Amino acid sequence: MSEMENKMPNFLYEMLYNQYGKEITERIIQGYSQKRFTTLRINTLKTNANNIKEELSKFGINFKEVKWSEDALIIENVLEHEIKKLKIYEDGEIYLQSLSSMLPVLALNPKPKENILDMASAPGGKTTQMSAITQNQAFITACEKNKIRAERLKYNIEKQGAKGINILIQDARNLSDYFSFDKILLDAPCSGSGTIYLEDQKLEKTFTEELVERSKKIQITLLNKAINILKQGQEMLYSTCSILEDENENNLKTILKSKKVEIVPIDKQMFLEVPFLPTKIEGTITVCPTRLYEGFFMAKIRKK
């Protein structure tokens, strides 16, 4: 075993090896061993890309554009805490967000006037991204069960100038079946197997088999709830920051058995230069962890 493999929990190595084989597992471990670049999303509710680029250049901050979004930037020469000192951050003109976590909203493609549910909303990156894309014209219900996290969500929504958002402090698993939505974003709680950094000293303690098992149970309950409250013929987006099929494809196989839903293929051409991993269900996407991207899974689901 290599030095990097030694730093991984054994069960995780085995799961990845069984799912992806040796070559791809080594590529994933390579991604786990690299510190990620700081990335941000330009908040088009308050500013535009040119203003932000000018402001960054003024402070000698180097950035790189991203092919699949005019609103995403990769910061090349400073860390997150430096960005947080800038007025554009203070004023909510930018939002620090990983590139991978910007993808689900783009795949869901929210539209003005739609009634949208964000099932696990805090801290609000995707919620405010939906507001920005629809220019505050969508009706968004942002669900968060934890009161402290809900406060953070409220703070970020206000700071970003996002409007038309109703915050619901409730476990989304217990939402009333009388609700009915045009679109649902379920960025589900997960093990975080896509976001691992091998230099993290606490990894053995925090990343456990129990965590994966617990995550699976929550994900299935949330998926079933989402299907119940999604309008017929409408679409939802299921995502996790995990790259394990136990939390991704296997959950989908379970819900597909009901014959109530079908997979809507996500067009990979939307996301040029995103590093993909193979998936077990056609039309779904798994992002490989790298220096730029967290490992991430996405599936678009339509209620028949």
pLDDT tens-digit readout, 173-205: 999 999 999 999 999 999 999 999 998 878 888
Give the confidence band of 3 by pLDDT, cuts at 50, 70, 90: low
Identify which of 219, 230, 295 has the alpha carbon closest to the alpha carbon of residue 255.
219
Predicted pLDDT of residue 8: 86
pLDDT tens-digit readout, 37-93: 999 999 999 999 999 999 999 999 999 999 999 999 999 999 999 999 999 999 999
**What Å distances lie between residue 271 and 25, 91, 117, CA to CA?**
22, 29, 24
Identify which of 251, 254, 234 has the alpha carbon closest to the alpha carbon of residue 242.
251
Backbone angles phi, psi at 73, to 5 degrees: -135, 145
Predicted pLDDT of residue 221: 97
Give the confidence band of 2 by pLDDT, cuts at 50, 70, 90: low
Which residues are known to be catalytic?
241
pLDDT higher than 90, residue 6: no
User: Do residues 223 and 28 make contact, with C-beta atoms less than 8 angstroms apart?
Assistant: no
Position with higher pLDDT, 206 vs 274: 274
List all residues 6 or more positions away from 211 whose beta carbon is below 8 Å from its beta carbon.
Answer: 191
Give the confidence band of 227 by pLDDT, cuts at 50, 70, 90: very high
d(CA 99, CA 130): 15
pLDDT higher than 60, residue 1: no
Number of H helices, E strands in the chain: 12, 13
Stretch 17-39: mean pLDDT: 96
Backbone angles phi, psi at 153, to 5 degrees: -60, -50
- Structural domains in the chain? 38-96 (3.30.70.1170), 100-303 (3.40.50.150)
* Both structure tokens of 192: 């975080």
d(CA 190, CA 248): 10
DSSP 33-101: TSPPPEEEEE-TTT--HHHHHHHHHHTT--EEEETTEEEEEEE-S--HHHHTTSHHHHTTSEEE--HHH
* Both structure tokens of 290: 């790298």
d(CA 29, CA 56): 33
Predicted pLDDT of residue 77: 95
User: Before 278, cis peptide (omega within 30)?
Assistant: no
Averaged confidence pLDDT in the chain: 96
Biggest distance spanned by C-alpha atoms of the chain: 56
For 239, the 3-state DSSP assignment is strand
pLDDT higher than 80, residue 4: no
Predicted pLDDT of residue 165: 96
pLDDT tens-digit readout, 108-137: 999 999 999 999 999 999 999 999 999 999
The 10 Å Cβ neighbour count of residue 161 is 17
- Give the single-character DSSP code of 170: S
**What Å distances lie between residue 258 and 128, 184, 262, CA to CA?**
33, 19, 10
